């Protein structure tokens, strides 16, 4: 094979649904999902934290399941549905959680808050009234360096009671 026959694919066209709207765009094939959402789509709630899928700051929902946006390439959402915290907030889906986080001051610096809200929402969709232990287990994959988790657990418990 000569050098002229080797072709490097740098971009791919993807079509997907983002927060309920159809999107068709060209994306660099090596860009991860969270960077694509932040840099190309202007949706900055999900953060780049550890970049290895440990901290949960990059959580987004893909086809109904919360995933680590830093571990998924943007090209992988072709044909799928992606929901960000902005979309969940706009639809009102996380209103009870937002109120509870404010009430309990569960966001402190706010860096982990979007990932925590995504995880908490997924938990409350799966189980309407989780125990404190179940809440702690659910958020154990999300790092927070400010709150000590107590206020976050309280907030999720309050939101569960409000939705019940």
The pLDDT tens digits for 33-43 are 999 999 999 99
Torsion over CA of 91, 89, 82 and 48, rounded to 10 degrees?
A: 170
The residues, any chain, with a CB within 8 Å of residue 133's CB and separated by 6 or more, are none
Neighbours of 20 (CB within 10 A): 10
Convert the pLDDT of each residue in 95-146 to its tens digit.
999 999 999 999 889 999 999 999 999 999 999 999 999 999 999 999 998 8
Q: Output the pLDDT for position 146.
A: 87
Three-class SS state of 104: coil
What angle do the packed helices 113-126 and 150-163 form, to 10 degrees? 40
Between residues 8 and 70, which one has the greater pLDDT?
A: 70
Convert the pLDDT of each residue in 147-163 to its tens digit.
789 999 999 999 999 76
For residue 96, what is the enclosing H or E element? helix 95-103
Contact 118, 84 (CB under 8 A): no
**The pLDDT of residue 7 is above 70:** no
**The pLDDT of residue 17 is above 90:** yes
For residue 14, what is the enclosing H or E element? strand 11-18
Three-class SS state of 124: helix
**The pLDDT of residue 8 is above 70:** no
């Amino acid at each position: 094979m000569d050098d002229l026959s080797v072709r490097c694919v740098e971009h791919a066209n993807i079509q997907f649904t983002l927060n309920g709207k159809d999107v068709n765009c060209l994306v660099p094939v090596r860009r991860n999902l969270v960077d694509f959402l932040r840099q190309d789509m202007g949706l900055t709630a999900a953060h780049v934290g550890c970049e290895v899928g440990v901290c949960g700051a990059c959580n987004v929902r893909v086809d109904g399941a919360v995933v680590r946006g830093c571990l998924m390439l943007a090209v992988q959402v072709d044909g799928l549905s992606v929901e960000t915290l902005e979309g969940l907030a706009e639809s009102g889906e996380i209103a009870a959680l937002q109120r509870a986080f404010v009430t309990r001051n569960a966001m402190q610096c706010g860096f982990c808050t979007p990932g925590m809200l995504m995880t908490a929402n997924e938990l409350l969709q799966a189980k309407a009234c989780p125990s404190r232990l179940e809440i702690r287990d659910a958020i154990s994959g999300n790092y927070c360096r400010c709150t000590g988790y107590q206020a976050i657990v309280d907030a999720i418990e309050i939101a569960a009671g409000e939705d019940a």
